[in-house]
């Protein structure tokens, strides 16, 4: 079982890059511990800025440093970074086209029992609506490392959401298929692409449960694939449509509100390019129950068992409708 959270991989990549790149600057809002960036602050105190609990200042200062030629990585709890500092993200980062990478830590429901004040279930919708702001939700530590290395090579603003807890590995070290802004299709066989009745589209920490759901469906004789849509914006419509055309049912899975997130993006693209049955699995549009992430996911049917049951039921309902 993996014990390295995605946030730790961000620190590892930045630590390595900072050895030869003195323009890399990390900023935190009293969050170096939560962001696993304490090691960076210790190793490069001259390239670390602590602003305290002041998320708006965090983004504003990061944008100012970027205008001076620095590569700014601003880390703060996603629940606050995506709401308190939304105006700064819009104006200082996106509109001003500054090289600011916003790292939303402990995203989704990572904070569990702390409740709605600390959940970030609207960040995809909010940040994606800002012109010139990219949005990424990597699925495991290896993909996270690939993403940060890629973002170090450009000068555009971006928002990266990672969870608090370690998640199971999706990929293997040294063998991560990664092209920036291109989704990955999981579930292919050595002989080529399989026929899939169900296409599961997931992002971030929901990719692993989606893979579990696909496995359970396959055990019941139902072909299933998973699209790891880590790139929410720019959205990889090409890969989605290509795979959706081959499926009877499309199911989206996300740790987000039912509005404005992955489900909405997938539904719009499928309806426009290859209309077919699409169902969206997400957090509810109401206060989320308290508990550990795994417990909350299971409660709302966002684990492998719940995902497979919803997909199978949808297929059965479709069969009744068309007389099968």
- pLDDT band at 143; cut points 50, 70, 90: very high
Nearest-angstrom CA–CA distance, 48 and 14: 11
Percent of the chain scored above 70 by pLDDT?
A: 96
Nearest-angstrom CA–CA distance, 45 and 252: 42
Nearest-angstrom CA–CA distance, 186 and 31: 34
pLDDT at 191: 37
Nearest-angstrom CA–CA distance, 6 and 103: 11
Q: Residue 30 corresponds to which tokens in the numbers above?
A: 């009293």
Answer whether residue 320 shows pLDDT above 70: no
Q: Residue 48 corresponds to which tokens in the numbers above?
A: 């670390």
Averaged pLDDT, 144-161? 97
Domains observed in the chain: 6-161 (3.40.50.970), 184-321 (3.40.50.920)
Averaged pLDDT, 153-160? 97
Q: What are phi and psi of 68, to 5 degrees?
A: -95, 10
Contacts of 211 (CB under 8 A, 6+ apart): 170, 186, 187, 226, 304
Strands 231-233 and 134-136: antiparallel
Answer whether residue 201 shows pLDDT above 90: yes
pLDDT, tens digit (0-9, with 9 covering 90-100), for 29-58: 999 998 999 999 999 999 999 999 999 999
Region of 89 (left: φ > 0; alpha: ψ -120 to 50; beta: rest) is: alpha
pLDDT at 190: 37
Cβ atoms 75, 27 nearer than 8 A: yes
């Amino acid at each position: 079982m993996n014990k390295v959270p995605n946030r730790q991989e961000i620190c590892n990549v930045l630590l390595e890059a900072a050895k030869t790149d003195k323009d890399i600057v990390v900023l935190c809002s009293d969050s170096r511990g939560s962001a696993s960036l304490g090691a960076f602050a210790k190793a490069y105190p001259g390239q670390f800025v602590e602003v305290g609990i002041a998320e708006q200042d965090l983004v504003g200062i990061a944008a100012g440093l970027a205008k001076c030629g620095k590569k700014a990585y601003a880390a703060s709890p996603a629940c606050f970074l995506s709401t308190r500092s939304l105006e700064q993200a819009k104006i200082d980062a996106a509109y001003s086209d500054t090289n600011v990478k916003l790292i939303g830590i402990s995203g989704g429901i990572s904070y569990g029992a702390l409740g709605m004040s600390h959940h970030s279930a609207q960040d995809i919708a909010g940040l994606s609506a800002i012109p010139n702001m990219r949005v990424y939700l990597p699925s495991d530590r290896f993909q996270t490392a690939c993403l940060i290395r890629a973002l170090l090579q450009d000068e555009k603003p971006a928002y990266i959401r990672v969870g608090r807890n370690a998640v199971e590995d999706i990929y293997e070290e040294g063998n991560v298929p990664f092209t920036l802004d291109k989704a990955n299709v999981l579930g292919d066989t050595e002989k080529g692409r399989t026929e899939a009745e169900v296409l599961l589209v997931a992002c971030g920490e929901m990719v692993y449960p989606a893979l579990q759901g696909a496995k359970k469906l396959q055990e019941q004789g139902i072909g299933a694939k998973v699209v790891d849509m880590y790139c929410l914006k720019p959205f990889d419509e090409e890969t989605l449509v290509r795979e959706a055309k081959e499926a009877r049912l499309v199911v989206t899975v996300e740790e987000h509100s039912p509005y404005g997130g992955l489900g909405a993006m997938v539904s719009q693209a499928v309806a426009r390019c290859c209309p077919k049955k699409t169902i969206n699995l997400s957090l509810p549009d109401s206060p989320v129950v308290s508990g550990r992430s795994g417990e909350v996911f299971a409660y709302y049917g966002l684990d492998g068992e719940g995902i497979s049951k919803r997909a199978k039921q949808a297929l059965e309902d479709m069969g009744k409708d068309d007389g099968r």
